Amino acid sequence: MIQGKVTGRVWSSKHIGSLPKGALLEVEVAGNRIIAFDPLGCATGEDVLITQGSVAAGHFTHIKAPIDALIIGSIDSK
């Protein structure tokens, strides 16, 4: 997994039909930015753990979701 910090959110009104409802968060990971699906309700500034690829899509059990990046947890602050 990779660890990143939530920096914002994106909205997409024009999208394919299989995109699940839910938040798409911008996450900065080592200077790069990825967009991850957030099933946990994370906030800007939160440190999160992201899984990628087909493993991320596997989270959606009743639909075939086009999601290749998923927030699986929020990192506890030390």
The footprint of a second copy (CB under 8 A) covers 1-3, 10-16, 18-19, 24, 26, 30, 32-36, 39-40, 49, 51-59, 61, 64-70, 72-76
Largest CA distance in the chain: 40
Of the candidates 30, 24, 23, the one whose C-alpha atom is nearest the C-alpha of residue 5 is 30
The dihedral through the CA atoms of 35, 36, 40, 46 has a sign that is: negative
Beta carbon nearer to a second copy, 16 or 45: 16
Q: How far apart are the first and last CA of the chain?
A: 19
Looking at the Cβ atoms of 5 and 66, the one nearer to a second copy is: 66
Residue 27 Cβ vs a second copy, minimum distance, rounded to whole Å: 10
Query: Cβ of residue 2: shortest distance to a second copy, in angstroms?
Result: 6
